[in-house]
């Protein structure tokens, strides 16, 4: 693969830090652009150039972009429950700032982008596993709406300005470096609570089915699509549907003691089951998930144990 100069927005965050590390290992030059509002400077790999900047800073952004071959756009507000409380902030950050980035790219002559999207754009799926030709549905929350809107603007820049664009629709990423506050994702909440012997909130008795993709596998997916042209949409998942209660059992087995469960019954708005087909990405690039759930959870437990111990 041709070595590229890659500009990573949100590269100090959970997924972005792993993407930057994966790109450097493949021999690419990496610039991380992050305002550190939710990211962490210490998570940026040492060999990456770092610019503390905000996507609202149009001129600073355009100047920083100059000379790069491609942008991987991960900067976004993420927690779904928070999006319900702060829809304007999510629209400003996830949609308007994406358009600001696209405009800065156009002016700087950078016309290739990989975008961090989400399986939430599908809504409540009618068929499983989910494939990319399934229609995107009415989003059930402002976060999903913001990702769908950003996808739309990227498609417009492909059509109007000839951008090469790849949309990666993530399923349920998990792994080391996930330091979100508030934390709303299942895996880190289970592990953090278990390590502190706190009750773990469980809905639907853990029967919901999800597709958990280990973050290093997800990072490799970004590297695999750098040379693609045109407008592409790919699901990125493990292609395995796993019940929440199976994750609970796996963490129990790793820790070697029972977990404290807080059974909260049903919760409105939950999708009963969602998991991916990543066949399209596999055929286009050869990528596939490699890390099993058990191995990924073990690595994640090690990370959070280290945090707890102050290592």
Any idea which residues carry the catalytic annotation?
A: 143
Three-state DSSP class for residue 281: helix
**Cis before residue 91, ω within 30 degrees of 0?**
no
Rounded to 5 degrees, φ, ψ at 292 are -70, 160
Strands 242-243 and 209-210 come out as antiparallel
CA pair distance 101, 302, nearest whole angstrom = 36
Any bridge partners for residue 30, and if so which? 6
DSSP codes of every residue in 129-184? SB-TTSPP---SSHHHHHHHHHHHHHHHHHHHH--EEEEEEE-EEE-TT---SS--
CA pair distance 135, 299, nearest whole angstrom = 35
Three-state DSSP class for residue 42: helix
Measure the N-to-C terminal CA separation of the chain; round to a whole number of Å.
Answer: 37
């Amino acid at each position: 693969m041709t070595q590229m100069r890659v500009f990573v927005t949100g590269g100090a965050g959970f997924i972005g830090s792993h993407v930057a590390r994966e790109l450097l290992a493949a021999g690419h030059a990496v610039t991380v652009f992050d305002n550190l509002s939710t990211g962490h400077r210490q998570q940026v790999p040492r060999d990456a150039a770092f610019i503390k900047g905000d996507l609202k800073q149009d001129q600073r952004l355009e100047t920083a972009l100059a000379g790069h071959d491609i942008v991987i756009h991960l900067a976004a507000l993420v927690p779904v429950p928070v999006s319900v409380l702060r829809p304007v902030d999510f629209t400003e950050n996830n949609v308007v700032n994406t358009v600001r980035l696209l405009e800065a790219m156009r002016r700087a002559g950078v016309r290739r982008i990989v975008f961090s999207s989400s399986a939430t754009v599908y809504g409540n799926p009618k068929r499983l596993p989910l494939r990319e030709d399934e229609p995107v549905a009415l989003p059930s929350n402002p976060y999903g709406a913001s990702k769908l809107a950003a996808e739309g603007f990227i498609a417009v820049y492909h059509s109007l300005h000839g951008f090469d664009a790849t949309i990666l629709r993530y399923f349920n990423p998990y792994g080391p470096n996930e330091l979100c506050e508030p934390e709303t994702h299942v895996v880190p909440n289970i592990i953090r609570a278990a390590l502190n012997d706190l009750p773990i909130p469980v809905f639907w008795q853990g029967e919901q089915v999800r597709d958990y993709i280990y973050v290093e596998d997800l990072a490799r997916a970004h590297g695999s699509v750098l040379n693609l042209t045109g407008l592409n949409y790919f699901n990125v998942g493990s292609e395995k549907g796993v019940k929440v209660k199976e994750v609970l059992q796996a963490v129990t087995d790793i820790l070697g003691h029972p977990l404290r469960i807080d059974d909260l019954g049903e919760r409105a708005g939950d999708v009963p089951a969602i998991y991916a087909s990543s066949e399209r990405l596999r055929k286009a690039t050869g990528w596939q998930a490699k890390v099993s759930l058990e191995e990924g959870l073990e690595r994640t437990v090690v990370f959070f144990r280290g945090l707890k111990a102050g290592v």
